[in-house]
Amino acid sequence: MSTTRPYSPGDGGPEPSGASGMPAGDATAPESALSAALPVAPSEAAPEARGRQVRRLGLDGESGVVPLARDFTRQALYEWGWLPASGAEQRAAAEDVLLVVSELVTNACLHADGPDELVLSCDRKVIRLEVTDRGAGQPAPRTPHQAGRPGGHGMFIVQRLSLDWGVVRTPDESGKTVWAELAAPA
């Protein structure tokens, strides 16, 4: 687990087009990318032959963002073949993804003036969830974790369910992107 490393172990950083899917060197997304969901058209090829697939959902100014983010993620999981689940392991993996999305979006609502954007990217091995917000805080699991108390469990859940997670900040800009990566079902 990492809260400072912007990329997972073994990852050399953002893809050549940038982690946001924007052309290299373009640090800001166009207004249209933040105001509407822009799914990338699924390939006609079998899921195994597809490369990394990306889905984006603008959340800035939306109401009911947690269920909106979950529904958007659920639809992506259907498009990527995770749902309907063919077995218990695949169902559990999809439920973990939906729970982590809920926790990341909820944290942005509670601690960072709301989320701006949700980005999902998936290949055959890993799904990466990114929630961008304008908050200055640093998310971290509360320690010691007190299971019996209400609240304060979000980042603990993210930490437990994810292969890795972290925070990306852009110098001289407010806000951050909190990301988590989960294993794709076998």
**Predicted confidence band of residue 21 (pLDDT cuts 50, 70, 90):** very low
Residue 115 preceded by cis peptide, ω within 30: no
Q: Is the pTM of this model over 0.85?
A: no
Has residue 99 been placed in a domain? yes
- Please write the tens of the pLDDT for every residue from 81-105: 999 999 999 999 999 999 999 999 9
Average pLDDT over residues 41-54: 57
Higher pLDDT, 154 or 76: 76
- Rounded Cα distance between 21 and 143, Å, is 35
What integer pLDDT is reported at residue 71 of this predicted model?
98
Residue 24, domain member (yes or no): no
Report whether 59 contacts 116 (CB < 8 A).
yes
- How far CA 44 is from CA of 49, 51, 119, in Å, comes to 9, 12, 22
Structural domain contains residue 95: yes
Residue 38 lies in a domain: no
Establish if 158 belongs to a structural domain: yes
Distance CA 48, CA 16 (A): 22
The CATH code of the domain that includes 92 is 3.30.565.10
- CA torsion angle for 123, 24, 41, 162 (degrees, to 10)? 30
In a domain, residue 43? The reply is no
Domain hosting residue 57, numbered range:
48-183
Q: How many domains does the chain have?
A: 1
In a domain, 28, yes or no: no
Q: pLDDT at position 186, please? A: 75
Q: What pLDDT was estimated at residue 50?
A: 61
pLDDT at 144: 65
Is position 57 within any domain? yes
